[in-house]
Amino acid sequence: MVEVSISIVIISLFLIVFMNQNYESQNRMQKNKDEVFSVLLSLERKNELRDIIFSNNVNKINQTISSSIPKLKRFYPVIFNKTTNVTVLPNINDKRNVAVIEYLISGEYGKYDPRILKIFLWD
Amino acid sequence: MKKGQFFIISAVVVVLILTLIQISIREYNQGRQGYDKSYILYYFNEVKREIPTSYFIDGSGSIENFIDFNSFVRKSVNEKNFYYESFSIILFNIDESPDKLNLTAVNFLKGDIYVNFTLNSTPVQQYGMFVKSNDYNSTVFNVDRNLDYYLELQGDSNYTINLDLSNKNLHIIFSEIRIIGNNIEYIDKVEKHIFLQ
């Protein structure tokens, strides 16, 4: 009887830790994505985001995200044009879970030149 | 082996198996986690905003840029294992006498399409147009810019656009946009009226 109880305790403890880890990880990632996207939308509302992306100003994006979401440490913005990245890529061999937020523009007023801002977020 | 020991060893084996399953799921999810349902809705809204913008972003109104941007979006959406489709029409006044209205249809649907356009005026003008997939086609209607019109299009879906042509610098962009995949189907229509010099 004691052994059966020990077995149940082993499996239950594992399941509690296992389920909680997954749930917390997914929740944290979703929350981070929502917060980063809100920061982008606030820049969009101020009519700054298009110019920031078009001028490849990843420093401004870094500063804005860092000041708006101080607890978010692991993120990396990259800007792509139609064919390649125009700012430096992160280490994409990182084994941790990664999420990507994207923001798309067709150019700056006066010039057609499509760009995508991708913000990589790590768990 | 005692029966009790068997239970404990079985529990350890079950935990090991569950651990292996957890590791496999994590490996499978690597690189996939970024493109979930909520994210694709954000992206869809960006596409809806930017597709009409691509036509007038350079200040002149360019069908070439509009088509190029549709290709750019399709490539970007395909990279996420989703599928992008759109059907658009672009209308603008031609500054000639008598007044004329140019209509260009741009087809980024999976297949070719036949569309009927009806310009409600006196007399009613009708035009049937075949547009190949990933291509465009144009026609011209005779109009009187002092009158109000509405344009009905009947094709993959039906839509009506009210036309106030009094300003000859008017350009109208209408698009039906779809992003499909992973049990998700976002479809919406956007209509933008702008004035370009």
What does the alpha-carbon distance between residue A88 and residue B110 come to, in Å, rounded to a whole number? Answer: 35
Out of B5, B38, B43, name the one closest to residue A3 (CB). Answer: B5
B23 three-state secondary structure: helix
Q: pLDDT for A92-112, tens place per residue?
A: 666 677 888 999 999 999 999
* Residue numbers in B near A121 (CB within 8 A): 34
Q: Which CATH architecture has domain B36-195?
A: Sandwich (2.60)
Judging contacts by C-beta atoms under 8 Å, the chain A residues touching residue B59 are: 109-110
B44, A42 Cβ separation under 8 angstroms: no
Instruction: Chain A: give the shortest CA distance to residue B117, in Å.
Output: 29
Report the range of poorest mean pLDDT among B7-11, B58-62, B155-159: B7-11
Can you say how many angstroms the Cα of residue B136 is from the centroid of all Cα atoms in its chain?
Answer: 15
A3 in reach of chain B (CB within 8 A): yes
- Tens digits of residue pLDDT in B32-81: 444 566 688 889 999 999 999 999 999 999 999 999 999 999 999 999 88
Cα torsion B19, B22, B28, B29 to 10°: value is -150
Contact A7 B8 (CB under 8 A): yes
The ipTM value here is 0.79
Q: Is B84 exposed, middle or buried (0-12, 13-18, 19+ CB in 10 A)?
A: buried
Contact B58 A112 (CB under 8 A): yes
Q: Which residues are CB-neighbours of A106 under 8 A, at least 6 positions away? A: A112, A114, B50, B53, B54, B57, B65, B69
**Three-class SS of residue B143?**
coil
For residue B12, the model assigns a pLDDT of 82
Instruction: Note which residues in 60-79 of chain B have CB less than 8 A from chain A.
Output: 62, 65, 68-69, 72-73, 76
Backbone angles phi, psi at A35, to 5 degrees: -70, -40
10-residue block means of pLDDT along chain A (123 residues)? 79 72 72 91 94 95 94 92 90 75 94 95 85
Specify the pLDDT at position B27.
Answer: 61
For the record, the structure tokens of B39 come out as 């994210």
| Chain B contact present for A45, CB below 8 A | no
Quote the DSSP letter at residue B165.
Answer: -
B76 contacts A4? CB cut-off 8 A: no
What pLDDT is recorded for position A107? 95
| Contact between chains at A111 and B54 (C-beta distance less than 8 A) | no
Token digits of residue B11: 């529990």
Of B84, B75, B56, nearest in space to B173 by CA: B56
Is A15 near chain B, with CB under 8 Å? Answer: yes
State residue A20's pLDDT score.
62
**Cα dihedral sign for A46, B174, B189, B132?**
negative
Mean of pLDDT values over B102-115: 96
Give pLDDT, residue B33.
46
What is the structure's pLDDT at B24?
Answer: 73
Can you tell me whether residue B147 is helix, strand or coil? coil
Q: Which uninterrupted H or E stretch holds B22?
A: helix B3-29
